[in-house]
Structures are given as structure tokens and as C-alpha cells.
Chain A
Amino acid sequence: MNRTREPQIALPALSRRRFVTGVAAGAALLGMPAGANSAVPRANPTPQTLRGNQFDLHVNYQPVNFTGRERTAVATNGSVPGPILRWKEGETVTLNVTNHLAHDTSIHWHGIILPTGMDGVPGLSFNGIRPGETFTYQFELNQSGTYWYHSHSDFQEQQGHYGSIVIDPAEPDPVACDRDYVVILSDWSDESPHDIYAKLKKEGHYYNRRRRTAGDLWDEIRQKGVAQTWQDRKMWNEMRMSDRDISDVTGYTYTYLMNGQTPDGNWMAQFKRGEKVRLRFINGSAMSIFDIRIPGLKMTVVASDGQNIEPVTVDEFRIGVAETYDVVVEPVDDRAYTLFAQTIDRSGFARGTLTPHPELRAEVPAMDYAPVLTHRDMGMDHSGHNMGGMSGMDHSDHDMGNMGGMDHSDHDMGNMGGMDHSGHDMGSMGGMDHSGHDMGSMGGMDHSGHDMGSMGGMDHSGHDMSSMSGMDHSQHAGMQSGNAGQYSLHGGRPELGGMQGVWFTDGLVRAGHGSNSPIVHLPSEYRYGVDMRSEMPGNGLNDPGIGLRDHDTRYGRRVLTYADIRNLTPTIDRREPTRELQLHLTGNMHRYMWSMDGIKFNDAEPLMLKYGERIRITLVNDTMMTHPIHLHGMWSELETGDSEYIPRKHTIIVQPGSKISYLVTADAYGRWAYHCHLLYHMPGMFREVRVV
């Protein structure tokens, strides 16, 4: 099957100045020379590295200047980002955090496994740190790697309250290197985060400066004709959605920082030819997902979210908000290299330089084309699926589990779930007894016949059925029972339909291999707060993500996907999951509302886990945004198709219109936050997880 290129937008030639300061561009239009009123920016304080096991951290106001305008940041020990904390595995650290702000603050140690009271989430783990107060955190370090910390109060993270953590391993580090640098990426705005949030609530596309124009329409008509253009635009027009809605907040207001330096500021790291350089990338942004590459260098990814993985060599990788990736590079030439981190929507970039001499600079590449969403990103269509990869599979040795990790899995059963439920009278489900729901009848469906025609009128044009019919469906017993399993709806308030979350207990796919359970949209998803439901979510595992899918064919760049990640050491908890929670990420872009299963945090009850149990969480993305989802206190063990080496992550990207599964061992008592790490999605797309 042909791999089609993703649709693209011609990138307007914007000056770099525009990316550096969105405000300056506005000023230019008003006839003022950009930067006319900007004094020579004073150097912003750079983060120190603090070592040891006792730390005094001061959260304070700090004048900064990232754009030519003086602003006040919320800093830690006077710098943005805050200091790099260098810890040692096995030690107990004590951190006295003093609040010098006029408002509450907090610090959450992102990715650190610790007691709930030390987790730093106001309202769940403690009451926050009042102005003038000092709170002492103390916990033991039972892990090593690259992590970070940030405020969990208000929108302080956007104002500069974040920093890096490096924990050196107790045992010798399996990753040998000559130099070791932290590279923390972030997004700075001169606007108040409350103003940003209010603008988004009032006009969801406020920061989108790539909305479709008459010119785009004209180009499309010239290429495809009126009839085809009408047809192609139809769904978007009917759904009142934009295929260019990639990031909520963009370079229009953001200046992207690398270690607190603007692109013009050009953060620099030195190396000598032949050295191995370890770069610890941390995405400390409020809202920006980055695609990272170093033109001229291959990157060997050695750790993901702090955990060592089997090294994978790539040219490019995507880093969701709050994720961390450690890469090792070995420059063989005596030249400079650009560390290039462009945002997912290509509205700007962060940049630094890896150089043998401070005077040497490397060329800064142009940004890649800006992605456009497709039907696939709405979970509607299989034409985008890479069926070619499937036919290359060895079907004779078909391991059911492996399928869980492939595109193929969600289209059998996922489809069917979607299909079945689309016909469901959801309004009446509230009063139904779901425990008696006979899912078995679905398992009894004739899969060999595969009546795809009846699947809700979806577009199967790209579906290569011939290769599928060659498969022996009779061997798919695991899949059928997975589908036939009963599910129950847990807890929930009667006024919300009496249910929250969908739990499957029977016929779960083996650990490490994802989910085959049917997709169930709860009645709470059929309300004003939800503008879309993925009927046939794709598999987010081997999808590099929007804007990266054709980088291999187009540029010859190998792009990391989650399917490439294998833990360096064997899986610790080798039990099978005993139940599976299916949770849907939902929202309404027009109203700028975000939720899970259509229910905002305010109205939701905690998700209850039993201490010690091992469960699977399947996230279904019923939106067109890419959401990085973070579970506090416990590892999210991403099911990438190999049960022996399941990677442990703390933040997992859920691709638009897709689903993804991971295992969780509930080995930490208490109340934990579970949420989308896009800052302005947090007010709704947030749950409490309670382990009792």
C-alpha cells in the first residue's frame, strides 16, 4: 500500500524575530518598529546546579526579560528554570521550600516515586505552601535518571516555576559518557497565564495563526476541483472543527526556551571531537510539544522518563509536555551542531548549540511543514493505517499478544465496539443494568465474514481486506474472549448517570500487549462539553504522531515511536492485569472545556484502586489534540508489545483519535493526581486516583 504524504500547509516566510516575540510582530503592524521600546535585555539569571541531600529552595519573584520587555517570573532560587537538583539514588533528600510569593505555591517532583504527602499536589497530597511559609519535603530515592519539578499551584508553571532533577544511579551507570548536559525546554509568555486561559475560553482559536484562508481554499479547488474539495471539507465543516487546530497556544504569544535561553540567546554546550555527550531532554513546557533533532547527528535514545531503555538510534523524536528523554550523541567532526526543537504546530522553536569552540555556530534549519489533521486523527478511518506493515507480519506464528501492539488489534475489536455502541441508545443507559450486558453476543459474531460494510458507514477505502482475509481468524480466540468479556461501570453519582469509567474484567489481553476491549462511550460523553467521539480509535503505539508520520519517506529521518521503546532491564511485576479501565479523553474546543469521559474533575469521583493490584488503563482520545497524560505516584508501564521488557513511564502521549494502554501496579497508598499535562487542560482533564 502506498504511503501517502500528510497534507501540509505551505509555511509562510516568517522572520525569526516573529518567533522570538509574538508581541513584536503585533507592534510592527501598528507601525512601531519592533523592539523600538526594548532596552538591551539584561541577562536573565541562569540556573545553578545544586548537589547533596539537603536543599533550601526559595520560590520568589524575579525580573526577567525574554522578549525585550521586562516581566516578572515566578522563579526558584532566583532563576528560570530553577536550579538543577543533582541527587543520588538510595539517599534521603530533604528540601525546605519557602514561599516568598503573595499566593500559595507548591512543588511537585515529577516522576519521583514517593509517599503521597510528599507529592506536592495542593488539594490531594497536602494543603499547599502559604505565603511566607516553609514546607519541608523529605523522601528516599529509589530510582535514578532524568526528572523535573514544577509548581502544582495555579498556573505558576507557565510563569517560570520549574526546574530539572538528575538522580545519579547507585550502581555504575550503564550509559557511559564524557559529558552530561540537562536540556530543559519551556514556553514563556509575556501575558499572564490567566489572560491566556480567559482568551482561550472566549475564543478557542485565539492563538491559531494558521486558520484556513480563502487562498487555501482556492489552492485546493485548483488542485482537486470544486466537487472533491467540497467533499473533503464537508466533514470538517459539518463538525465545525478545524484541521489546523494543532496547538491551543502557539508562537503567537510564546517564546520557546532551551535552558532558559531564547533562540537568539542560543544556549551553548561544549564538547571535544570524539566525546560521547549525554543530553537529558526535559519538556518543562506548559503547553508545547516539541520535535527534537540535531541536524548532522544521530541520537541514541538511552532513557525515557528517567528509566534506561534498550538504546534506539533515531534522527528525530517527539517529546510531550512533561516527558524526558536522554540521548547520547558522538560528534565525529570538529564542527558545531544545532539542537533544534520545533513545536508540533511549527509556530516556533527552541534552539541551542553543541559546539567544540564557543565562537562556532551551526546553521539553524528551517522548520518543517505544519501538519494538518486528517480523518484518522478523529478516530474515524482506517485508510491511514499502515496495512503494508501488517502483511509483512508472520501470520503463521501469530501471537495474540503481539497483535495488541499492532494497528491490527484495534481494528478488529475496537471497531466493533465502536460500531455496536454507535447504535446504542446512550440516553437510556443510565438506568440500565450494565453488569448484565451481554457482550458475549459480540464475541459470537462471525469474524470470518467480517461484514465491514455495515460498520456505520465509515470510510474503509484504504483498507486492504485481501491481506486480512488471509488471516486465520479462528485462531483469534484470545481476541474474541477479550471482546466478549463483561464490563461494569464503576461508582459514580446518580445525577451523572450513575457511572464513571468502564471496567473490563474478563478475557483481558496478556500483559504487555495492550487492549482488545470494545470502545464504550458513556452517556456522559453525549453532552455539551464533548464535541467528538472516536468511533474507531487508531493505535497510538507505532504512530510517530501528526506531522512526523512521513518524515522517514520525505526526509529520510528515522523518528522514534513508542513501539521502539523497550526497558533495559526485565519487567519487575510480571503479573497479568486483573482488570482494565477504559477512560476517554474528551473536550470541546469551541467552548474550551476539557474532561475525562465528559466529566470534569469537579464533578468526578476518585478512581479507586486496591492496594497491590495490577490493572490496565486504556486511554481513548476522543479529541483531535495530542494529550500527554501523567499519573502521579506509580509507574505507567507502557504496553509496547514485549511483556519481558515493559518500559516504565510517568507521562504518556495519547495521539489524537487514538488509544493506548499501559499497566499500573497500585503499590502506593493515598491520593494521587492523574491528568493531562497541558496546563490549560488541567482544570477539567484531571482525576484523583485513590489507592486504598
Chain B
Amino acid sequence: MNRKTLLALTLAAPLAHAAEESHTQHTHSMQDDEHAAHQHMGHGYPAPQEASAPAAPNLRHAPNEPDHVMDHEVLLTKVTIDQLEARENDGGALEGSVWFGGDKHKAWFKTEVERAEGETEKAELQALYSRAIAPYWDLQMGVRHDFELESDSRNWGVLALNGLAPYFFEVDTSLFVGEDGDTALRLEAEYELLFTQQWILSPEIEVNFFGQNTPETHTGSGLSDVEAGLRLRYEFTPQFAPYIGVNYEKKFGNTADFARDDGEATSETTWVIGLHAWF
């Protein structure tokens, strides 16, 4: 049986395979034992027990990894829910990402969804190719799609620099170029302050700039809006942490004017409660 077949078999039916193989071998090795028993010097190994099914959670064996520990380039998937939260006034938000790949190359998806007063205000998805370029930095490029619920959807090209800046600021800087030549720039930074190993305060800020006025999306050129948050989470495990916090949003310049024209407030502070998790 060649290696690939074996691997396939292993993948397809690990339990059956294990049982079958070990059974066969069991008989074989017992014969060996009897045959050689008189030559051996006192090591009464009890009858080898049936290989139990390798279904135990701690025995999980990544199927695509070779058994040579030194050369397995593992491809991993990380799903991060940065924020999944309910906000005051019938609002809510989801911010998260999924990456898949190895050390250098990854496929990277980012999403942001925001709702306020029962309506979806923002829903976007980015699909990026991410490449490690420096010890703490990934260069990312790809596309962003905005799901505009009231008007046409929009597409953007994305160029982003994502990583860890000195003083442990997690930074994501994205430049967007729209199909019609529109431009936008988004700066995001986040910090973690540990009160204990489990109580963690996380301040964060997002700043958006646009290169033009776009009445359909109610965004104006220049500094458009700032969103600042402060969230206190409790890590039951590093992977599962509910939080409470406060979120502050303020619109500036032409964007603020658009809001005022619509009779909307230009700034808003809301309490939030949510979950931070990854796996």
C-alpha cells in the first residue's frame, strides 16, 4: 500500500482502519512473541491490547501534515470575532476576520457590519491576499464590497498594512480606491491593557477619510468620522471573552453636514455588550 492510499484510507475511515490494521498486526506480533519467547530475557509484555479508536480529542492528527515533524509547513485557519455586540438604541455591530494560510502567504477576509436604530448602516466584506513583509507587518491587497442597502452596491480595491506597531499597538491601515476613482483611507489602532491576566481593557480607534463627497453614502471629503471604543473583557479562556464597553462616534466636515441635513445627530455615545472570540 503506498503512502497516499494509506493517507486517504486514514482520512476516510480512521477508526475502521486503525481497528483493522491493529487486529492484523496483533495476531502477527503474538506469533512473533511465541516464536521468539524462549530467546527473550524476561520481559513479559502483556498481550498487546486492541488499538483503541484514535477519536480522543487529544489525539487529533492534522490529516494534511506529514509525520516528519521538522518539515511540516502547516496551513491554518483563524477565525476572529473582534466584536460581536449589541448596542443601545436597537443597534449592533460585527467586526471580524478569517485568515487561511501559512507563515508568509495568507488569504484574509475582513468584515464590518453596523446597525443602528434597527437599520443596517454599514456592511462590508474584504477579500485580500496577505503577505508577510517584515517581522511584525503584513502587506495586504484585494477587493472590498460594500452592501449598500438603500442604493447600489460599491466595490473598492484595497491596499492595507496590517500588523503590530512599536508599543504594542495593533494597527490596520487601508487605502481604498473605488471603481469610479473614489478614494478612502481608514486607520485603525487597538491596544490591550491587562488589569489581570483575564480582565483586559481594550481602547481602540478608527478614523475614516474620503477623497470626495458622495451624497449617496452620506460621506464627505476629508476627515469624515472617528469611532472610538473602550471595551472591558473577561477572558474565560484567551479564546472566549465577553465584554462590556462604550462606543463613541463623531462625524466631521462634509459628512457631518450630510448628517445635519438629514436631521441626524453628528455624534453618538452608546453602551455596548458583546463577545470577543477566536478559534
Interface residues of A (CB under 8 A from B): 26, 29-30, 48, 50-56, 58, 60-63, 70-72, 74, 77-78, 83, 96, 98-106, 122-123, 128, 130-134, 152-155, 159, 189-192, 194-195, 197-199, 201-203, 206, 209-215, 237-240, 528-531, 588, 590-591, 593, 601-602, 673, 675, 679, 682-684, 686
Contact = CB atoms under 8 A, between A and B. Distances in A.
Cβ-closest 10 pairs across A and B: A52-B41, A72-B56, A102-B18, A50-B43, A686-B70, A132-B21, A123-B68, A104-B67, A528-B132, A192-B60
Interface residues of B, number: 71
A109 B252 CA distance: 69
A131 B70 contact: no
Interface of B: 1, 6, 10, 14, 17-18, 21-22, 24-26, 28-29, 32-33, 36, 39-43, 45-46, 48-49, 51-54, 56-62, 65-74, 76, 78, 103-104, 132-137, 164-168, 193-198, 236-238, 278
B231 to A, nearest CB: 15
A122 B71 CA distance: 11
B195 A77 contact: no
Contact of B58 (A96, A192, A213): A192
A100 B22 contact: yes
A238 B69 contact: no
Contacts of B36: 54, 56
Contact of B136 (A71, A98, A590): A590
A190 B133 contact: no
A527 to B, nearest CB: 8
Contacts of B103: 528-529, 591, 593
Given A209-B197, A215-B195, A531-B135, A601 B29 contact: no
B19 to A, nearest CB: 9
A133 B14 CA distance: 17
Nearest to A83: B43
Given A194-B65, A198-B74, 14 more contacts: A54-B39, A56-B45, A133-B25, A134-B28, A194-B61, A202-B78, A209-B197, A528-B133, A529-B135, A531-B135, A590-B164, A601-B71, A675-B70, A686-B71
Contacts of B18: 101-102, 131
Nearest to B73: A602
Contacts of B42: 50-52
Contact of B32 (A56, A74, A195, A601): A56
Residue with the highest number of chain B CB atoms closer than 10 Å, among A61, A96, A238: A61
Contacts of A591: 103, 132, 135
26 contacts: A48-B45, A51-B43, A52-B41, A54-B40, A55-B43, A70-B56, A98-B29, A102-B18, A102-B61, A103-B67, A131-B18, A132-B21, A190-B58, A192-B57, A192-B58, A194-B60, A194-B61, A194-B65, A198-B76, A212-B194, A213-B196, A531-B135, A591-B103, A591-B132, A601-B70, A683-B69
Contacts of B29: 56, 58, 98, 134
A71 to B, nearest CB: 5
B32 A102 contact: no
A130 B53 CA distance: 17
Contacts, number: 219
Nearest to A153: B67
A96 B45 contact: no
A102 B10 contact: yes
Given A58-B29, A210-B197, A528-B135, A130 B70 contact: no
Nearest to A685: B70
A99 B24 CA distance: 11
A154 B194 contact: no
A60 B42 CA distance: 21
B227 to A, nearest CB: 24
Contact of B22 (A54, A132, A190, A198): A132
A464 B254 CA distance: 64
Contacts of A215: 195-196
Contacts of B6: 130-131
B58 A159 contact: yes
Nearest to A57: B45
A601 B71 CA distance: 6
Nearest to B18: A102
A128 to B, nearest CB: 6
A237 B168 contact: yes
Contacts of B51: 60-61, 100-102
A501 B67 CA distance: 27
B43 to A, nearest CB: 4
Given A52-B41, A61-B51, A240-B168, A214 B194 contact: yes
B108 to A, nearest CB: 13
Contacts of A210: 197
Contacts of A96: 32
B70 A673 contact: yes
Contacts of B167: 237-238, 240
A134 B197 contact: no
A26 B238 CA distance: 11
A200 to B, nearest CB: 10
Given A77-B45, A240-B168, A192 B70 contact: no
A214 B193 contact: yes
Given A103-B61, A192-B57, A52 B135 contact: no
A99 B18 CA distance: 11
A144 to B, nearest CB: 19
B134 A528 contact: yes
Given A54-B40, A102-B14, A123-B71, A206 B194 contact: no
Contact of A202 (B67, B69, B76): B76
B84 to A, nearest CB: 18
A197 B40 CA distance: 40
A305 to B, nearest CB: 22
Contact of B56 (A71, A99, A675, A686): A71
Contacts of A133: 25
A210 B39 CA distance: 55
A191 B58 contact: yes
A285 to B, nearest CB: 15
Nearest to A680: B69
Contacts of A51: 41-43
A30 B240 CA distance: 11
A588 B51 CA distance: 39
Most buried by A among B14, B61, B65, B167: B61
Nearest to A49: B43
A679 B135 CA distance: 22
A687 B219 CA distance: 56
Contacts of A209: 197
A206 B17 contact: no
A190 B58 CA distance: 6
Contact of A30 (B57, B59, B60, B236): B236
